[in-house]
Structure formats: C-alpha cells, structure tokens
Amino acid sequence: MTVTDTLLAAQEEHFARLDRVLPPAPAPEPGEVINAALPDGTRVAAVVARQTVSPGMPSWLWSAADTYELQPLVGTTGAAGMDAVLRAFRHWLDRVGDRGVDTAATVVWPSRDVDCTRVFLDHGLQPLTVTAVRRPTTVRPPALTVNVRPALASDEDAVVELAMAEVRFSAKVGAAIVRPEAEQMRRASVAGRLGMNDDVWVAERDGVVVGLAETGIIANTPVTKTSRQLPIGLWGYVNCLSVLPGARGAGIGQQLMAVVHNHFAGHRTVGYFLHYNPPNPLSSVFWPRQGYRPLWTQWEVRPAGALR
C-alpha cells in the first residue's frame, strides 16, 4: 500500500464516522501532488486539481475562470494535517506565481468536520457555498396563493428575468459573478426545455409570473461528477429558485418547493440536493426551513493569491 492509499483508506473511515450521508471518500482527481509532514513526522498529502472555465460553460456564472482546488489526503490527522497541507498549498501558489484576479483557491470538505473549519478560516478561506441535502419525503401542500405550473415556451422572458434576478442577488451575497454573457447563457440554458418537460416550474399570480424553480432529476452513477459528493442513486436537484424582489416573503417560494418536492418524490429519488451560499441572508434561512442541511462546504478565496 502506498502512503496515498493508506491516507485515503483512513480518510474513508473518518468520513464515515463524521456523517452517514457522505459517500465513500473520493480519490483525488488528476493534478499536482503536494506532500507535507506533521511535526511528529506523520506524512500527509494533497492534489491540486486545476479547473479552467470559459464563457458558455454553466459554472462560468458561479466560479472564477481559473480554480486551484486542493484535494486533501489527510487521513485521520484532523486539524494538524489540514493545516500542514494548506501551508504547503500556500508555498505551491507562491511557486506558480500570481495568476490574476479571476482565480480562486478552494477546498471542498465535509461540512461537519468542524475541527478543520477553524483551520480553513485561519488560512483566509470563506465558506462560500454548501452542497445541502434533504430526505426524499413528500410535503403537505401549503394553502395556495399562486398557481404553480410547468413553464411554457411563452414564459421564456419571465423565466430569464427571474433567473437573472437570482444571479444578481447571488453575486452580492455569494459565489455568482454577473458576467457579460450571463443573460444570454441563462436564456440558452432554459429556452429548449420550456414546454418540453416538467423540470422548470413557475408561480403565477394574477396572470403574472412571479416565481421560478429550475430543477432536474439527476442519475448519480459511479462515473458522474456528483458521485464524489453524493451516494449513488436518483436525486432531485434544485438549480435555481427565484421570486421577484417585490413578491418575496409571502410564501411563494414555499409553494413552489411543495410542488417540486412532491414531484421529486414521485420519481422515487433517494434524496434531494442543491447549493446555497451561507452569506445569503434569504436562502441560508429558507433552505434549512425546507429541510436541507449542509453536507459539503466549498471553502474558497478569490483571488487564489489571497490564501494565507
């Protein structure tokens, strides 16, 4: 067994103890290996996986153009091991040089590993995004004040306006970036789907569309990227929930989600998941009230050179 295999096996046990919903600890993706040692000589490692995104790719609207993701292999060494690999990561960034403003350094780690939380904060990382999960239960529909229905092709402009309201709001309080291509990209991502399936839902009040839920049923298999974060199976996914600014706080989001959750349940999903930004004062309250809780936290600092 190599040091890496031993660390990964220990990390698997650690993750299983931390949170029963986590899948087996994933092996690092291809990238540059970083080695570090604790004062007592214990060896730890990490891989720096680099992701480059460009206009047209969905993540262009919520991530830096260049992301250096540290994928730690720290086994059961906890805060000490995480501190060692983050120090080594800082030195690695110094060596590769400053890559400019549109860059990020990230670590995606189980939210419940609170010993490491202190270490991430001390290295200047922010808990910018969480992957949150919810059990696949049905909900009793609340009293309806809006008509919730699948979006039609004729709703395209209203859907794009709501999607852009979400991008603009999330750019103030989280990971999103209002790129020049944002509106065109959001339009392209929904245009072909409206009226074709029941993934995009709108809430209508007095004939006016005031809310949007863009969702999907995701088959999470061993070869899909989501298998790094979620147990294998069929998952309900919420990509975007948005209510027009003047209509928020009146139960419309809740009514949309009651329909969406019951729709997911009809597909025999194993759970529901989504991403939200902890600094978002609306979604960070709304989603836990809807039954979601953090599974993974994406710790992030932009630009990458700001890592401490």
Ligand X SMILES: CC(C)(COP(=O)(O)OP(=O)(O)OC[C@H]1O[C@@H](n2cnc3c(N)ncnc32)[C@H](O)[C@@H]1OP(=O)(O)O)[C@@H](O)C(=O)NCCC(=O)NCCS
281 belongs to the binding site for ligand X (CB under 6 A)? no
Site string for ligand X, 52-71 (x = CB under 6 A): --------------------
Secondary structure string (H, E, C) spanning the chain: CCHHHHHHHHHHHHHHHHCCCCCCCCCCCCCEEEEEECCCCCEEEEEEEEEECCCCCHHHHCCCCEEEEEEEECCCCHHHHHHHHHHHHHHHHHHHCCCCCCEEEEEEEECCCHHHHHHHHHCCCEEEEEEEEECCCCCCCCCCCCEEEECCHHHHHHHHHHHHHHHHHHHHHCCCCCCCCHHHHHHHHHHCCCCCCCCEEEEEECCEEEEEEEEEEEEECCCCHHHHCCCCEEEEEEEEEEECHHHCCCCHHHHHHHHHHHHHHHCCCCEEEEEECCCCCCHHHHHHHCCCEEEEEEEEECCHHHCC
Determine if 253 is a binding residue for ligand X (CB under 6 A).
yes
- Choosing from 215, 242, 269, 298, the residue that interacts with ligand X (CB under 6 A) is 242
Q: Least distance to ligand X from the beta carbon of 53, Å?
A: 20
CB of 264 to ligand X, least distance (A): 17
CB nearer to ligand X: give 24 or 279.
Answer: 279
Of the pair 165, 306, the CB lying nearest ligand X is at 165
Nearest to 10 by CA among 70, 71, 74: 74
Nearer to ligand X by Cβ, of 131 and 269: the residue is: 131
Residue type, 181: E
Q: Report how many residues bind ligand X under the rule CB under 6 A.
A: 19
Print burial letters for 110-137: b (CB count within 10 Å at least 16), e (below 16): bbbbeebbebbeebebbbbbbbbbbebe
- Work out which of 243, 258, 259, 260 binds ligand X, going by CB under 6 A: 243
Stretch that binds ligand X, among 25-33, 123-131, 183-191, 250-258 (CB under 6 A): 250-258
For residue 148, what are the contacts with CB-CB under 8 A and spacing of at least 6?
Answer: 201, 202, 203, 204, 211, 255, 256, 258, 259
CB atoms under 10 Å from CB of 78, counted, come to 14
Binding mask 143-182 for ligand X (x = CB under 6 A): -----------------------x--xx------------
Binding residues for ligand X restricted to 283-302, rule: CB under 6 A: 283, 286, 289
Q: Which is nearer to ligand X, 165 or 232 (CB)?
A: 165
> Which range of residues in 33-41, 85-93, 240-248, 293-301 is near ligand X by CB under 6 A?
240-248
Q: Which of 280, 294, 299, 301 binds ligand X (CB under 6 A)?
A: 280
> Does 249 help bind ligand X (rule: CB under 6 A)?
yes
Instruction: Give the residue with the Cβ less far from ligand X, 80 or 165.
Output: 165
If one asks whether residue 254 binds ligand X (CB under 6 A), the answer comes out as yes
Q: Nearest approach, Cβ of 224 to ligand X (angstroms)?
A: 22
Task: Output the smallest distance, CB 256 to ligand X, in A.
Answer: 8
Contact with ligand X (CB under 6 A): which of 250, 265, 270, 306? 250
User: From the list 282, 291, 293, 305, which residue makes contact with ligand X (rule: CB under 6 A)?
Assistant: 282
Q: Which residues bind ligand X (CB under 6 A)?
A: 166, 169-170, 241-243, 248-254, 276, 280, 282-283, 286, 289
